[in-house]
Amino acid sequence: MSTPALEVRDLRFSYPDGHVALDGADFHIHPGERVALLGPNGAGKTTLLLHLNGILTPTSGSVRVAGLEVTEEHLQEIRRRVGLVFQDPDDQLFMPTVRKDVAFGPANFGVGGEALEHRVVSALEAVGMIDAIDRAPHHLSLGERRRVAIATVLAMQPEILVLDEPSSNLDPAGRGELAHILTGLDITMLMVTHDLPYAARLTRRALVMNHGRIVADGPIEKILGDEDLLAANRLELPYGFRERES
């Protein structure tokens, strides 16, 4: 087997008020896998994501990216390898133009000139937003801003793309456009979502998280077909989904 693209071992984290958000989370993802991380609110999913590129430091346990442990000495390289796309694109878009937003990350890593322009153009083409390259991000729709936010991460040429609720608040057309873009990317992917049909559309494997631990791990069809598992973890498929799939 290949070295895991991402390996989380016995990860534990408590906030200063004593709240235990992660309580021994364990999983690994191999290169090329597309994995959904499912679970109810408060399960620890977002806290987990913030450990993957060193925004938070664990109380104990470890995170490794391609065998490299997420520690202070490796932080810059880890943040290049793990591209984190937040739920709110406005958390990532703060420059006056789309071009400058997408260029910001690689420029801070020393990329310049034609190489930087190539990264910007390639990332925007990958998400279908090249025509907006000189527009102001705040003039774009939510779906367009989310695609630009993904481009800001792709411009860093990461090894793993981590997405927090990518389909939230998008209309059906926007959800479909984004799904088409994400399925076309040749990259290892971890996607946090409450949208179970979207998870089924974009991934082949699912992790279920609750109480700070991974409580189930398997093929997405098996996970979504286990009604008791979904109910125990406050997950619910939309009415009629099973009939449509049968």
pLDDT value for 238:
83
The list of the chain residues with pLDDT below 50 reads 243, 246
Per-residue model confidence (pLDDT) at position 177: 92
pLDDT of residue 243: 44
pLDDT reported for residue 130: 97
What is the model's pTM?
0.92
Task: Give tens-digit pLDDT for 85-132.
Answer: 999 999 999 999 999 999 999 999 999 999 999 999 999 999 999 999
Mind listing the domains of the chain with CATH numbers? 6-91+160-245 (3.40.50.300)
Tell me, what's the pLDDT at 2? 74
Hey, which residues does 217 pair with through a beta bridge?
207
